[in-house]
Structures are given as C-alpha cells and as structure tokens.
Structure 1
Amino acid sequence: MRKKYLLEMALMASLSFYSCDKEVIYVQDGEGVESVAAGAQIITLQVENGGDGLATRAGRPLYSAEAKQTIENVKLWICDADGKVVVYVKNINDWNTSSAAYETGGHGRQATIELKDADKLAAGSYKVYAVGYSNSSDYDLSAVTEVKKTEEGEGKYTFKENMVLPLSNTVGEEIFAGQMVLRVEDGKGFKKPIVLNRQVAGAFAYVKDIPYMAGAKYLKLVTSAQNQSLVLGKFNSVDLTGNGSGNGTNVKYVVNGTNGKSEGNEICSIDLNEWFTTIKDENGDNLIDTDNNWAKPEKYKGHALFEKGSVFGGEFVIPFAHVDGKQTLTLQLTKGNGDVLRSWKVNLGSADEQVTSNENNNKVTYWTGLAWDEYATVESANSYSLVRNHLYGIGTRMYDNPSNPGVDPNPGDPDPDPTPENPNDKPESLNNKQELVLKVNDNWEVIHGMELE
C-alpha cells in the first residue's frame, strides 16, 4: 500500500515538473484571452485570409474575391506604453512554410512566439505591432525593415507610429498589418493573439456582352483620385468572421493612403485582343462576337477560369478619398490611343452599407498627412472613397477557380458556358447598361457589388 502511494506521488510530481518546464498549459479567462501557467509569455501571430496564390510580381495578382495571402515575411516588435521605445523584435522570413493554417473566423495562417529568458517582458503596458509583406516588394519598406530594438545612449533608436510606405508601382500591392495593447501583470503569464488584416483596397471588372465599336481595343477601370503611399496605422486588428460578410461593428471605413496625385489613375486596363480572336460583329447584334471568337484566355497554367465571352481585370489599390462632385470609378471602352468610345459610371448600390451606415454617423477615417481625422460629409453612390480591406467589384467573382473553390490551381477546366449560371461566378452584362453597380468584399471586411450606369 505504501509502495503504491509513493509511486502515485512520484508520478504526480513528475507530471507537475513536466507541465511547468516542458509544455505550456493554457487557461481561458472568459474574455477570449488565454493566461498561461508558469508565467509563460506567448504571442500568436495571425494573418487573415490564407491561401496559396500564384504571384506574377511582388505580392499576388487579384483574380477574384477569394480570401488569400502570399506574403513571405512577418515582422513583429513590442514597444513601451508610449509606443516609442522598442523592447523586442522578431522576424519571420519564411511565413508560408513556418506558419500553420487556422480556421477561427476564416482561412488564415498563424505562428506562435514565446518570450523567454532575457526577452521576457517586465510588468507594465506595451504596444505590439506586426507587418506582413512580400519579397521584392514594390513598397519602400524601410520604415518596417529598419525597426530595431532600442539601445540606451545618445543615438538610441526611437520608433514612430503611422509609418508611410511609398509605392514605386502605379497600382497597389497586398500587405498586412496589425497592432494590440498588451498588459503584463507581475508573476502572471499570458497568451494573446495579434491579428493582421489587409491594408489595401481592391477593385475588379468582370463583364461580358462587350459593345462592338470600330477601333475598340481596351476596357479601362479609371479613378477620380490616386494615392502613391500607404500609411500603416489606425489598424482594425480583429479576427474577421467571414469573407466579405460585413462583420457588423467590426467593419471600418479607413482611407490610409497619402501622397496623392492631382489626377486619377487606371486601376486596370483589359486588352480585348487577349480575350477575343478578332474584334468584330458579324452577326449584327452590336456586341463583340463570342462564338468561335472568344480566345479562352489562359491565366493560370493553361487553364481557362472565366465564363465564355467574358473579360476580367483587377488590381489592389492604395485607398483614396472621394472627390466631391466627381465620379469615383468609371469603366471606359477606348481605342488603342486612349480615345474614349463609350463609358459607364460605376456606382455603389443605394443600399450599400458604405453609403447607408455613414448616414448614421459612421464616418470615413482618413490620414491628413499629420494625424487621423474623419470626413465631415457622407459618402454617396457616385462619389465614394475606396477604403482599406474592402473589395469593389463589377460582376461576381468569388473564387480564382470557380469549378473548384478554394483550390488553386485546378487540374481541370471549369465549364466556360455554365448552365445553370454559377451564382459565385457571374460576369456583369454591358449590353444596354448605362450604370454599373459595385460590390465590396473582404476577409476582406466587405465585398461591394457595384452598379453600371
């Protein structure tokens, strides 16, 4: 009996020792934050919108509203309560292979960092920042990559919030970032996630029934304004619950672009000769012929991914503010020299929350160049801002590969002429349209469906 008792006590002691020194025991505190045994300090990096995309340049191309990421690097740093003195820095340069998928709220990736020994934080308040970006980025990422731990002395490094990232390209590039406030209590551990969300907007045109006009060569999606630098700040660091679902109070309207140009910009230019064998109208219906004339464009490893007769173009966009009295987005049919043959206004629907919620004083937050402020006026269906982590689309395009959602690339071709129509893949007809309606999507926060006028 005594021998059995001693064996049980020894087993309990060994388990207790193992739990404290070899593994971390997590305890939910009822508020969505986990505390940990033995004073362990753990931060979980979570990047929203996971997936394996095919990159043709820095970042990934925008082919649909699918929630994805292809970043290779995540940098995390911890500051004091004032956000100036950097006490810890961590670089992850192989994010897509070292992180793991997670399903909470969406399809993202996450990695866990444990602070040990000299890296452990003393009791007090801290600010945690993290940025996810691509190799060979078109952004000037000096403000991120040069963040380093503060050293004492005359020339010590001081971190500045609201980092401005100039862009060398004319279109946006996907980048993720987030921030959280961390309170460390004496003698207590913690486990807390920091969620990184997309910092740019997106826009695409997915249309069919293209009017035939002599000399037509391009369909262009153009804007009333353009910003050339991105501001990392005023983060919406929440775990979004669905791709483009709206997420209630978690939806934010933030224009985090700066360094604007006086004129607008082409978001995308669709070369019709890449989609049609010949620009012609032999059947006399005033539309570009599609039967035996659609070029079945091969965008992903030889597989056509679009409905027969359709064309597609899209890009990520640095957010910009609406210009009073000007149409924000316009779709133009042009000649090769840029002469406009026909144009369509691209509007937000009258029930779109970016219009209706702002009537309820949910203003658009924007960067003044020095600080964050709010618009004094509401958005309208014609004149609206392109805001962070919202996708503005003409037509419906939920997946890069609609025949096999979420899997990319697909070993087989989707049906180019589906019957019945695929509700997740439906180009907008331009025939007899005067106005287009935008739709916005996230994990992506919101997917906006746009209207053509």
Structure 2
Amino acid sequence: MKKNYLLGMALMASLSFYSCDKEVVYVQDGNGVESVADGAQIITLQVENGGDGLATRAGRPLYSAEAKQTIENVKLWICDGDGAGNVKYVKEISDWNTDDVSTVYTTGGHGRQTTIELKDADKLAAGTYKIYAVGYSNSSAYTLTDVTNVAKESTFNENMVLPCSTVGEEIFAGQMELTVEKGKGFKKPVVLNRQVAGAFAYVKDIPFMEGAKYLKLVASAQNQSLVLGNFNSFDLTGNGSGNANVKYVVNGTNGKSGSETYVISTIDLNKWFTAIKDDNGDNLIDAGENWKNPCRPSSSPTAGTYPTFQKGSAFGGEFVIPFAHVDGKQTLTLQLTNAGGKVLRSWKVNLGSTDEQLKQTITCWNSGSTDWSTSLSGELANTYSLVRNHLYGIGTRMNDEANPEKPGVDPDPNPENPNDKPESLNNKQELVLKVNDNWEVIHGMELD
C-alpha cells in the first residue's frame, strides 16, 4: 500500500492521502518547521510515498503495497475561510516527479516536496483561509474539469465529484486551515493523501480445470465517481502500520445499478503460464518452466525497471473508488472462470475476524444531501466496505520487487519471504484480505 504526501506552502496545514501502499500528498503540520523571517509566507508542498494494473494506463499500475508515487501534476488553491470558497491564489505545478521541480525528503515521512513563497501582490492579508491541493496524472481517467477550471477569483467547491472511466485511479488531495496575523509570516505544510482504495490478489497453486482462463476479483458494488472532501490530512509515518489518525471513509458515489457483481481486476492465466495444463497430475496448473513473468520486457531489460514475482504465482490488482458494503452480499469473491465467463470455482474473500475495521462506523458521502452525513455500521468479516486509502490484499506483497535486494530476479518460492508471499489456492475455500493504510492500515484477508 502506498502513501504520497504533498508538503504545501507554509500556509497550508496538512493534507493526507494511503490505503493499497501509502501514497499521500501533504504539507507538514508545523512540528519542527524552521522559523521564517517576519512577514514571510511560505508553503511547502510535500508528496509522501506511503500501492493489478498490468497494462499501460494513465496513473501508475498497482503491483504491491509499496509506498511510491508517479503523479505528474499538483494544483493548489488558497480560499477565503468564510465558507464561500472565493479563490485568492492558485498555483499549478507540472512534472512533479522531476528533480528540478521537487526534491526527495525523509523528515517525518518520505516522498517529494517543493516550497512556495508568497510575495508582493500574492501575499495574504490578515484573516482566515482554507488551502486545498490535488495531485493527479496526465491523461487521467477522471473527468478533471472541476480541478483544471478553478482559477483565481472563481469559486472553489470543497467537495469535488470526479467521474471516472475505470474502477479507479490513484489521486492525492488534502486541505488545511490557516490564520494569517498582521505583520507575521508563516511556514506551514499541506498534506495530500491517497483518495482511493486498493485491492489485489497474489496467488499460487492455482487449481487446474479444463477451460480455465481467468482469475477475477469481483465486488458486490462499484462506484463510478470519486468525491474529494472530508480529508484526513495527517502525515502518516508508517506504510500500512495504522495509528490514531486512521480514518474509515467511503468517498465514492454514483454507484452502478443492478444486482450483478463487478470485476475489479482480471488475471489472464495465459499471460502467466505458457500453457494451462497439468502434466504431473497434481490437479494444479503446472508451474516451473511453464511459468513466465508477463511484466518482464522481452529484450535485455534493465534490472529494477519492472516488477518481479515468485515463480509459479499470478498477480492482479487495481486502485478502486471506495464503496459501502451491501447488506447480505459477499463483498469480494475470487473466481476462476473460462473464456466465456462461466465460474469454474470461487473463493470468498473475507476480512480477518480481529480486523480493526469490523469495529468501526464508516463515514460515507450522501449524494442526496451532498454532504458527509451518512454513517454506516454493521461491518462484517464477509460484508465490509472498501474505504479510502486502505489496501485490501490476498497474499502479502510489500514491494514491486519480490526481493528488493535482488532486482530483476523472479525468485523460487523457497525459502518463503514474509514480505512477498502469494496465497495458495490449493484445497482452500477461504481467501484472506489484508488492508494496508500508508496506506494507513494493513488488513489481512482470508479465503473461504
């Protein structure tokens, strides 16, 4: 799971983002920030790294719970603090990940940061303000009109609703409140956190069944728009470790109608195995020399430039727009299907019985009243919500490289690596999900 932070102008408070590696964009909360000259107004934007899209797409693919970021753009707004949303200052930053735009930082968290000083006509008069920031990708799957069109002297909508053409894409956002005193300067951080959830299946020992072609991770619901609001805005210092600042928020809306399940990710087994066969008669798809890494470039790839996996495994995952649980319906299921979609075998994917989420009341966006007034209780091991900045994983995979000390090597499964351990599907009826929040918290999932 992953987390990215944006350390915003000294004006800004913190913004936070996580759940599948921590990817949060934020501005530090003021602790340990150096003093500034009288009257200086400085904002430090910081995107912290806190997490299957195996195909080329607009945002980064999800290969693990690793804390990292690949966003290209960050946009920041300073608005009057009276609730009217009048924009007093706008800053757009492109090519965020290049060294001449932002630099690596390791204080508090780790990620990239840049500093903005307000001077001359841009300086803020005494008063109260709200600062917002959003970090996003080029050619995004989101409709970003509400982000790109908000200019100085226009009105800022605190709860932007962004339609999405996919199940989700990584995006960061955060907010802070600022009080400017006459004759005094400031240096404040704004924290941007990941605004989506993540879900993946990392499995091995796949049953052989005639005609088997896909492993699909399906869900009981799917939202088609993301709401940027009700931010966490904390500097989450551990990737998926959880702390007192963890939130449980469903910031998705515009759900698909109907009673069918919705596919989050699809693993094409023909991309992982040269043939779907069982020559040794153990009722599992042959691995060994029959296995291949579909992410490995075909010609002389540079080690460390592509993800590696345990030999014999298969991986699929995606960033997901958060959604609330559906009473009486299994939230996630892993299905083995043929080319036509017929389910040959399935496994229920459950939260562990001691998972902290089962104790929580979930805050949800209420599209009818356009506010955060809905509270959802009754989270169960098999009927649970996918919440913002939490990563839900079958198996354990903490890094894009199966063994970061040996980049470019697809290792044999023994000895087992506790940080890279695909879940066996042999003779099991239950899958275990792990939710990673620096992602803020990591939840362990079980197969049923």
Q: How would you bin the TM-score normalised by the shorter chain?
A: 0.7 to 0.9
Q: How far did 1:56 drift?
A: 2.3
- Give the Å deviation of 1:394: 0.3
Please say if 1:292 is aligned against 2:293.
no
Contact 1:222 1:332 in 2 (8 A): yes
Instruction: Indicate the SS of the match to 2:393.
Output: strand
Report if aligned partners of 2:168, 2:318 keep a CA contact under 8 Å in 1: yes
Determine if contact 2:169/2:319 at 8 Å carries over to the other structure: yes
Q: 2:185 aligns with which of 182, 185, 189?
A: 189
> CA–CA distance in 1 between the matches of 2:184 and 2:333?
56
Contact kept? 2:307, 2:400, Cα under 8 Å: no
User: Does residue 59 of structure 2 align to residue 56 of structure 1?
Assistant: no
C-alpha distance in 2, partners of 1:250/1:147?
30
1:31-89 deviations in Å (ceiling 9; x for gaps): 556542221000111112179x9992211000010011101100001000124111000
Q: 2:409 aligns with which of 410, 414, 428?
A: 414
Identical-residue share of aligned pairs (%): 77
Q: What one-letter code is carried by the residue in structure 2 that aligns with 1:86?
A: V
Partner Cα distance (2:215, 2:30) in 1: 53
Compare 177-186 and 261-270 and name the one that shifted more. 261-270
CA deviation vs aligned residue, 1:91-110 (integer Å, no higher than 9, x gap): 00121111111113332111
The verdict on how the C-alpha distance between 1:392 and 1:105 changes in structure 2, with shifts beyond 3 A counting, is farther
Specify the alignment match of 1:174 in structure 2.
170
2:224 is the alignment partner of 1:228:
yes
Return the structure number with greater helix share: 1
Is 2:47–2:113's contact at 8 Å kept on the other side of the alignment? yes
**Alignment partner of 1:315 is 2:318:** yes
2:138 counterpart of 1:138: no
Instruction: Give CA deviations for 1:347-393 in whole Å, capped at 9, x if unaligned.
Output: 0001111113x2xxxx2111011110242423111011101110000
**Paired residue type of 2:201:** A
Does 1:337 pair with 2:340?
Answer: yes
Q: 1:376 to 1:139 in 2, by over 3 A?
A: closer
Q: Give the Cα–Cα distance (whole angstroms) in 2 for the partners of residues 39 and 111 of structure 1.
A: 20
> CA–CA distance in 2 between the matches of 1:34 and 1:145?
33
SS of residue matched to 2:216: strand
Question: For residues 317 and 343 of structure 1, what CA distance do their matches in structure 2 show?
Answer: 21
Once the two structures are superposed, the pairs formed by residues 432-451 of structure 1 within 5 Å of their partners are 432-451=427-446
Equivalents in 2 of 1:38, 1:29: separation in Å? 20
CA distance in 1, matches of 2:217, 2:188: 42
- For the 8 Å contact 1:65–1:397, the answer to whether it is kept is yes
| Helix, strand or coil at the partner of 1:402 | coil
Could you tell me whether the CA contact under 8 Å between 2:171 and 2:194 is conserved in 1?
yes
| Alignment partner of 2:272 out of 268, 271, 275 | 275
Q: For the residues of structure 1 that align with 2:382 and 2:354, how far apart are their CA atoms?
A: 13
Larger Rg: 1
Q: Which of these residues, 229, 238, 243, is aligned with residue 239 of structure 2?
A: 243
Cα distance change, pair 304–39 in 1 and its aligned pair in 2 (3 A): closer
Deviation per residue, 1:175-214 (Å, 9 max, x gap): 0000000011111110000011100000000000001111
1:425 corresponds to which residue?
420
Any idea what the Cα deviations from partners look like across 1:249-288, whole Å, max 9, x if unmatched?
A: 1110010000000243111110111111111112221111
For residues 276-302 of structure 1, the C-alpha deviation after alignment (integer angstroms, 9 at most, x for no partner) is 111111222111111321134334675
CA drift of 1:418 comes to 4.1
Residues 1:384 and 1:443: Cα distance change in structure 2 (over 3 Å): same
Instruction: State the one-letter code of the partner of 1:66.
Output: E
Contact between 1:306 and 1:416, CA under 8 Å: does it hold in 2?
A: yes
Match for residue 401 of structure 2? Answer: 401
> Quick one: structure 1 residues 238 and 284, their matched pair in 2 at CA, closer, same or farther if it must change by over 3 Å?
same
Return the offset for 1:30. Answer: 8.4
Gap change, CA 1:50 and 1:322, over 3 Å in 2: closer
- Between the aligned partners of 2:109 and 2:38, the Cα distance in structure 1 is 31
Alignment-derived partner of residue 116 in structure 2? 113
Please list every run of 5 or more consecutive structure 2 residues that lacks an aligned counterpart in the other structure. Answer: 1-27
* TM-score of the superposed pair, with normalisation by structure 2: 0.87
1:290 alignment partner AA: A
Match for residue 368 of structure 1? 366
Aligned to 1:18: none
**Aligned position for 2:17:** none
**1:416 is matched by which residue type in structure 2?**
P
C-alpha distance in structure 2 between counterparts of 1:399 and 1:325, whole Å: 34
Contact 1:138–1:168 at 8 Å: present in 2 too? yes
Partner of 1:273: helix, strand, or coil? helix
1:229-256: CA deviations, max 9, x gaps? Answer: 000000011111110001x211100100
Aligned positions of 1:148-163 closer than 5 A: 148-150=151-153, 157-163=154-160
2:129 corresponds to which of 126, 129, 153 = 126
TM superposition shift of 1:140? 0.5
Instruction: Note if contact 1:34-1:190 (Cα within 8 Å) is conserved in structure 2.
Output: no
Cα separation, 1, equivalents of 2:276 and 2:332 = 25
